[in-house]
């Protein structure tokens, strides 16, 4: 089955840049999406189509893609950005998959 691989955790100090990667064989052909999930809350879409930002999402959130890896970048990290982040994509058969999630800790 198709899988997306994310690091379990990333730690960064306030004001620094956090980068969270997501790797998958189909990513060169399929868009990736990123979700932020805070404790006790439903996930929130923060990046769509690899690098687009929904309205209402701060500009410090950005996405990029290179080959089989997509990256969520949070510039100038704030304490409120501490959360779990999930990438999501699809395979060629129309099956959707989420990465295992990355816990972002703001030191």
Partner 1 sequence: QLQMQEWGPGLVKPSETLSLTCTVSGGSISSSSYHWGWIRQPPGKGLEWIGTIYYSGSTYYNPSLKSRVTISVDTSKNQFSLKLRSVTAADTALYYCARKGYCSGDNCYVLVGEAFDIWGQGTMVTVSS
Three-class DSSP category at 66: strand
| Distance of closest approach, residue 90 Cβ to partner 1, in angstroms | 6
C-alpha 21/C-alpha 18 separation (Å) is 10
DSSP assigned state of 58: -
CA distance 39 to 17: 22
From the list 12, 26, 48, 73, which residue makes contact with partner 1 (rule: CB under 8 A)? 48
Which one among 31, 65, 69, 73 touches partner 1, defined by CB under 8 A? 31
CB of 12 to partner 1, least distance (A): 21
Least distance to partner 1, CB of residue 72, Å: 14
């Amino acid at each position: 089955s198709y899988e997306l691989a994310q690091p379990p955790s990333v730690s960064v100090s306030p004001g620094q840049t956090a980068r969270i990667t997501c790797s998958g064989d189909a990513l060169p052909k399929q868009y990736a999406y990123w979700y932020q999930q805070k404790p006790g809350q439903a996930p929130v879409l923060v990046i769509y189509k690899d690098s687009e930002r929904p309205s209402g999402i701060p500009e410090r959130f950005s996405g990029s893609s290179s080959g089989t890896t997509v990256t969520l970048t949070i510039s100038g990290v704030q304490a409120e950005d501490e959360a779990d982040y999930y990438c999501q994509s699809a395979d060629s058969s129309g099956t959707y998959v989420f990465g295992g999630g990355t816990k972002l800790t703001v030191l």
